[in-house]
Structure 1
Amino acid sequence: MINVLCSVFLVSLAQLLLKFASINLHTGSLSDVLLRPDALFAAPVFALLGGLICYAVSMLFWFFALRRVPLGKAYAVLSLSYPAVWLAAQFIPAIAEPFLWRSLVGVVLIVSGVVIIFSDGSGIKSRPSALKNR
């Protein structure tokens, strides 16, 4: 499960870094950045590269997670990256996403879904043997 959590952390960080880069990278094209040496060492360029690296490493953790964790549970945990990114974007001044109540409702629904998936299901029992006899 640690691989899934690392993947969630890294993919969330990647999203935040790429958002920062997209807001702050004011160039007409990639060639503008490559032709200006001072632009290569700007924070948005580091954020862009960092975001891409985080995505790549996240995929490695995801690959190893899928070897041990059932896909349904791993994917449910991965969906927690959406609330994590939304929450972080509310508090990081450089990103400053606007607060919307409908977004909060969506985050609550996602977290509720993950809780339901991981609940023991003691209130709902399926009886496969009873279904086979019909």
Structure 2
Amino acid sequence: MNKGYLWVLGSALLVTVAQLSLKAGVVELPSFSLGWHWLQLEWLADNAASLGVIFVGLVCYALSMLCWLFALKYIALNKAYPLISLSYVFVYILAVVLPWSNEPATALKAAGIAFILLGVWLISRPSKPLTKKAK
């Protein structure tokens, strides 16, 4: 197996952890708006746990980008980029399964996931060169 695919998988998994971390962290904040409260030590201390979870999400995004750069070294962009959509599948499944997420599963969303997986499978198959028909 081309190691680029492992880098893409690593990137997709890290993006998944990032999304779930950001969601978990921001939900626990008492308010989420732009303002001066972000600079108040008392507010920062009161929300340190949530901000820590958000920070983990941001770090995962940075690490995901690093994996992505390695993936691009080994895989064509037109094959690698669609594979990142696996993160949509991972996020959906984990958002439904994790008890704290409390997100519902629906048949329509499951069908969407099936289409994403079908698309990933079609794109990741080995390509055959186009041949011209003889005249």
Question: TM above 0.5, one fold?
Answer: yes
How far off is 1:38 after superposition?
2.8
Q: Aligned pair count? A: 128
Output the CA distance in 2 between the equivalents of 1:126 and 1:79: 25
Output the CA distance in 1 between the equivalents of 2:65 and 2:130: 37
Aligned to 2:46: 39
Aligned to 1:6: 10
Worse overlay, 23-32 or 5-14: 23-32
CA contact (8 A) 1:14 1:51 kept: yes
CA contact (8 A) 1:18 1:47 kept: yes
Match of 2:122 among 105, 116, 120: 116
Map Cα deviations across residues 33-78 of structure 1 (whole Å, 9 max, x no partner): 5421532432x21111111111111111111211111112211221
Match of 2:21 among 17, 21, 25: 17
TM-score, length of structure 2 as denominator length: 0.82
Give RMSD over aligned pairs.
Answer: 2.1
Output the CA distance in 2 between the equivalents of 1:100 and 1:22: 24
User: Equivalent pairs: percent with the same residue?
Assistant: 35
Output the CA distance in 2 between the equivalents of 1:85 and 1:13: 8
CA contact (8 A) 2:96 2:105 kept: yes
CA contact (8 A) 1:21 1:48 kept: yes
One-letter amino acid of the structure 2 residue matched with residue 117 of structure 1: I
CA contact (8 A) 1:33 1:40 kept: no
Gaps of 5+ in 1: none
